[in-house]
């Protein structure tokens, strides 16, 4: 799972993609979401959706980690 990236890295990829292509509207169209939704994500008012992640070349995965043993 070395290709897994953090949420912060995903946001960085989103911002980089917008900066390179110049506008949120094109990315919104590619992802099948509204430009307003892209704006909400960029401004941290919404989470990156599965469709938006896919448009950026990723998919959301859930991971679990063991709970450290508690001291008695």
Mean pLDDT by 10 residues, the chain (72 residues): 84 92 86 94 94 92 84 68
Q: What is the spatial distance between Cα 54 and Cα 70, in angstroms, rounded to a whole number?
A: 39
Q: What is the spatial distance between Cα 70 and Cα 72, in angstroms, rounded to a whole number?
A: 6
Q: Residue 66 falls within a domain, yes or no? A: no
Q: What is the spatial distance between Cα 41 and Cα 23, in angstroms, rounded to a whole number?
A: 14
Q: What is the pLDDT of residue 1?
A: 53
The domain of 13 spans: 7-55
Helix (H, G, I), strand (E, B) or coil at 5: coil
Q: Residue 71 falls within a domain, yes or no? A: no
| pTM of the predicted structure, to 2 decimals | 0.77
Q: Residue 17 falls within a domain, yes or no? A: yes
Q: What is the spatial distance between Cα 55 and Cα 31, in angstroms, rounded to a whole number?
A: 5
Q: Residue 61 falls within a domain, yes or no? A: no
Report the number of distinct structural domains present in the chain: 1
């Amino acid at each position: 799972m070395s290709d897994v990236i953090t949420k912060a890295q995903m946001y960085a990829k989103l911002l980089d993609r917008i900066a390179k292509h110049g506008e949120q509207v094109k990315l919104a169209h590619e992802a099948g979401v509204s430009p307003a939704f892209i704006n909400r994500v960029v401004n941290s008012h919404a989470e990156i959706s599965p469709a938006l992640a896919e448009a950026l070349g990723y998919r959301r995965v859930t991971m679990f980690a063991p709970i450290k043993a508690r001291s008695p």
